[in-house]
Every structure is written in C-alpha cells, then in structure tokens.
Amino acid sequence: MRIFSPAKLNLFLAVTGKAAGGYHELLSLAVPLDFGDMLEVERRGEGATEDELTCADPRVPTDGSNLVRRAAAAFREELRERGGGRAGGPFFRFALEKSIPPGGGLGGGSGNAVAALRAMNRLEGEPLAEEDLAALAAGLGADCPLFLPGGPVVFRGRGEKVEARPELAGLLRPWRIFLLDPGFAVPTGPLFARWAAAVREGRRREEAGEAERALARGLEELRQGDPGPLLRNDLGSLLREKYLFYDVVEAAVRAAAAGWLGITGSGSVAFVLLHARPTRVLSGRWSGSSSGSRAFPLKRRSFPGRIADSKKEDRSSCMTPTKSRYFTDPRPRPEWPVGAPSSSSTRTPRFRSIRSPRRS
C-alpha cells in the first residue's frame, strides 16, 4: 500500500506559556500541503521478528528512533492489548520516499508516523477507530495529532488539543504557497531554550489571551481577503536574529510585491503566501553578487489540492505549493542576537529543484 504523507504549514504560531515537564504551550493554525513524502507499507510474513524501514535520504534514521517504527511498535502493542494481535506480530515493511526536508518545521516525521498508522490499520482490516488512532498519535509526538483531521486545524497546549477547522479550507484554497528551504535544520530544543531565556530577559512575552485575540483577528482579516495579519511565528522572530537568509528573502518578496513571508514551525523553512493572481515574478537583486539578479517564476498550480486521508486520497482541504526550490546558502550569523546584516555579507543563493514523488 502506498500512502501520501503531507507536509504541514503553521500559518500562525504563538508560544502561550510553560507546560509541565519543561515543555511550552502553543496556539497554532496548521494546514496540510499538497507536497510531501510517499510511504509504502506492506505486512511482513509470519517468520518476521521486527519491522523494516528503508529510506534513500541519509539524513533520515531508519532504526527504532524513527517515528514510523515507533508508530508500528505502538500499533502492535495496542492490538495485543485488545487481543487482536498474534504473539510477536504483526510486523511491517516500510519504504519511505522523502521529499520533506528534515528539521525544517514542516512536520515530516510526524506526518510519516500518522501515515504509517493509517496504512497499518487498513492492512489489518481497520481494527482501530479514529479516536484510537488519535490516542496513539498523541503518544508519538506533539505534532502527530494535527495530521489526522486531513485539513486545517487549530491546536493548543503541547499539540494534544486539536480543533478541526474544515470551514477554513475554502478561505485558504485561493492562495498558493512558495516554499523556501535554506538547507539547514533548526534543533527544536535549543530554540525553545533561547525563547525561554528571551522571556526571562523581558525581550519576549507569553500571553495566551493576547494570542487568542490575535488569531481571531487574523482569521477575520482572512475572511476579508487579507491573509497578512494572520501570519505570525513567535519562534521565527528568534531565527531572524541569527540567520541572514530570512532578511534576504523578505527583501526580495517586498521588492517583487509577491505576497507575504512567513516561517513554519520552529523553522528553518520559510514560505511566501502568494496573491491569488500575481502579476509579478518573485525576484530581486542579491547584494554582493557579480551575476546580478536571480528571478524564478511562480508557476500556478491548479486547485483544489488533495490530501491522502481516505481510500480515494481526497486532498481537497490542502493548500498547494508551487514547484519548490531550496536555498543552499544558510548564512548563519555568529551569535545570538546580533544587529542587522550588512549588504556586503550576502551573496546570491544557489537553487536546486525538489519534486514530490510520483503518487499511485
């Protein structure tokens, strides 16, 4: 069985407080994209003694630390507790075709885990109901439950409080996404530690009430046709202090009047929310470059997108990104925080195309 595992995008992300165990509470609006990985799943024979995972991307671990294998172990344990699993099984073989960059804030690992849960459940005759899958997903990771509804969600806390918002799909469908990956990953733990330090120093605030009001205002502006006020990422403000990449991209987006720039999750991937019918090309003159400006067209892709949540793989609640490209020049700044970058410290980024794997 082949199943699509979509990436997710955080259009709104606010840190609202500290949770038990040293974790942080969040308020976020997340949407699935019509861009992601493909996972092939099959049941192994009676003699199998463990799950098997293969992936051509060397950045992706294939041992027991991978969320796909952890999902398989959790699924198997749940079947045993219900008396529906044989002793020592069932075991599965997974082949992961990776397109989502690891460590980019697109939820690749979490989405893979949920895709694995759905595939295993179907292969075993769907012994688990949707609420059972949700409980397993919550035990695997904070981002996992948000992939289950198959459309826009608002989640709170550590991610365990998920509110499906299917009515937002129609509001988001006219907009397109251009993904920009700087080619470096952002470790989540150190970034949240940096956030906690900024709160202690009074440089950041955590206010749940203010965040809820900001999300409500942003959604109202979206209904009026303006998505700009909705785009917020508290963690992204810290990334801007360290990496020149975001300043360079934002300058190009503003120069082209192409749309609105945002950062998803804890980074590092940025995105541009594009006008429904853009009349310009996202381009710009990159300072310090001898080759002049680099331009790349924002090619239109048709709507609606699709998300593989049903056997018919209906992705009507997805936003569709344009053909994505990587920036491979991260340009880290030397320390946290530093002042604004100088124009002489940037150079022309290099691009390489990425494509989603073929879907069956």
pLDDT of residue 105: 92
pLDDT of residue 117: 98
pLDDT of residue 275: 63
- CA gap 331, 126 in Å, rounded: 48
Element (H, E) at 336: none
Average pLDDT, the chain: 77
Q: Give pLDDT tens digits for 9-38.
A: 999 999 999 877 777 899 999 999 888 999
Q: Please tell me which residue, 326 or 49, carries the higher pLDDT value.
A: 49
Task: Grade residue 88 by pLDDT with cuts at 50, 70 and 90.
Answer: low
**Mean pLDDT on 262-273:** 88
- CA gap 62, 73 in Å, rounded: 14
Q: Is 181 considered catalytic here?
A: no
Contact at 8 Å (CB) between 128 and 121? yes
Please identify which of the residues 34, 143, 181, 329 carries the catalytic annotation. 143
Q: Does pTM surpass 0.85?
A: no
User: Which amino acid is located at 306 in the chain?
Assistant: R
Task: Grade residue 306 by pLDDT with cuts at 50, 70 and 90.
Answer: very low
Q: Is 166 helix (H, G, I), strand (E, B) or coil?
A: coil
pLDDT of residue 242: 85
